[in-house]
Structure 1
Amino acid sequence: MLLGGAAALLTPALPAAAALEQPTIASCGAWGARPPQGSLTIDEHRPNKIIVHHTALANSTDYSQAHAFANSRDIQNLHMDTNHWVDSGQHFTNSRGGWLTEGRNGSLYALLHGQTMVQGAHCVGQNDQAIGIENEGTYLTEQPPAALWNSLVDFCAFVCHQYAIPPAEIYGHKDFNTTQCPGLLHDRLPELRSAVAARL
């Protein structure tokens, strides 16, 4: 029997389909992404880790979905117009209100199938190995809102489930490159790994 929609996409990667609920993730089309300015590379393998980032942008108090979509557009414009990348560098973005959006075009399709990944531009040396998640805001001196944290836990658990990534393989940007990113979120990685393991 053929099934339509997300259920069909999830079947190969979710043998225990009821074990973990898919979070709501807005596609590039939903938030008004620009098309890539060049070809994107599809790696014919699963990623082996997750890398957590913060955007280093202002800590907005607008937690709406509309703001999350505007934030995704701002990031894409920065990455394409200033960094001169073909598209957003990260695979997914998590807003301070806990809204999840697809970052690099094709990342959501790949995640739902659980077999391939779109090569990113978020962490030197890891772009063909790691799913990059940008978390809206700057966390050098303050903690993220509960909505962002809870969404990050749920989403990391889903990514780990889809790609068979062990929770121990969740890292921060500064584990691989010289950067302050993701700020205090890096100190909470043990907590994040434990929370994800509990969901799985």
Structure 2
Amino acid sequence: MGVSRRVLVAGAVGALVVPPVPSGRTIVSCAEWGARPPVEPPAVVGRRPTRVLVHHTATENAADRSVAHAHRLARFFQDVHIGRDWGDTGQHFTITRGAHVLEGRHGSLAALRAGDHLVEGAHCPGQNRTSIGVENEGTYTAELPPDEQWDALVWLCATVCRQYGIPPSEIHGHRDHYADTVCPGDALHARLPALRAEVALR
């Protein structure tokens, strides 16, 4: 973990390129993981988001770290969320336990590249037009994400914050803005101060 973090920090000081960046990380687009078309195109919000909301999926802490698993997971959540009448995947981005970073909601990656708008999400009532939703595969009530997933979360949050001009202090947990949830779990929520600190360093 130490080597990858040093590489990522060193690669974050230059101009943002999404994707790829010097770390070799990329964001897998909806087209690449085989998303179905949204029921309707997500609404475009013509301003920058002001914060990042961290979520967990509350699914099993799977041992499968493969690309195939990541793509299956993304398709599964899109199907579930469309079934809830959300029109598409609710969150903007998903990070798997294998550290694969995927676009969730259609248009999220293009908006991030532009850096001047977002697409309306469906990840937290009252926050969908102001926040970027980042879903982390797993249940983190008592367990922390694996190191690789944590590194990917730091990288993605740093990328989002830098591109949109969001201060790292505005990285929050889902439950900070919605009382009827324990998301992103007690263990991960307790690590949010460390997440803000690591993002600030990048």
1:17 to 15, 18, 21: 15
Q: Secondary structure at the match of 1:17?
A: coil
| 1:42/1:73 CA distance change after superposition, 3 Å | same
**Taking structure 1 as the reference length, what is the TM-score of the superposition?**
0.89
| 1:19/1:115 CA distance change after superposition, 3 Å | closer
Q: Secondary structure at the match of 1:110?
A: helix
Counterpart-to-counterpart distance in 2, 1:43 and 1:18: 22
Aligned to 2:9: none
Deviation digits for residues 147-199 of structure 1 (CA, Å, limit 9, x no counterpart): 11010001100000100000000000000112110012111000000000001
C-alpha displacement at 1:39, in angstroms? 3.3
Deviation digits for residues 69-122 of structure 1 (CA, Å, limit 9, x no counterpart): 1111111011012x1210000000000010000000000000011011000000
**Taking structure 2 as the reference length, what is the TM-score of the superposition?**
0.88
**Aligned partners of 2:16 and 2:159 also within 8 Å:** no
**Aligned partners of 2:41 and 2:106 also within 8 Å:** no
C-alpha displacement at 1:18, in angstroms? 6.4
Aligned pairs for 1:33-182 (under 5 A) are 33-81=35-83, 83-177=84-178, 178-182=180-184
Q: Secondary structure at the match of 1:142?
A: coil
How many residues end up aligned between the 2 structures?
Answer: 185
Counterpart-to-counterpart distance in 1, 2:41 and 2:125: 19
Aligned to 2:10: none
Aligned to 2:197: 194
Counterpart-to-counterpart distance in 2, 1:40 and 1:189: 29
Provide the alpha-carbon RMSD of the alignment: 1.8
C-alpha displacement at 1:58, in angstroms? 1.0
- Structure 1: runs of 5 or more not aligned: 1-15
Deviation digits for residues 26-83 of structure 1 (CA, Å, limit 9, x no counterpart): 00000000101023100000000000000011110001111111111111011012x1
Runs of 4+ aligned residues of structure 1 deviating over 2 Å after TM superposition are 18-23
Counterpart-to-counterpart distance in 2, 1:18 and 1:180: 33
Counterpart-to-counterpart distance in 2, 1:114 and 1:18: 11
Counterpart-to-counterpart distance in 1, 2:17 and 2:105: 27
C-alpha displacement at 1:19, in angstroms? 9.3
Structure 1 counterpart of 2:58, which letter?
A
C-alpha displacement at 1:145, in angstroms? 0.7
| 1:19/1:84 CA distance change after superposition, 3 Å | closer
Counterpart-to-counterpart distance in 1, 2:193 and 2:30: 31
Counterpart-to-counterpart distance in 1, 2:96 and 2:16: 26
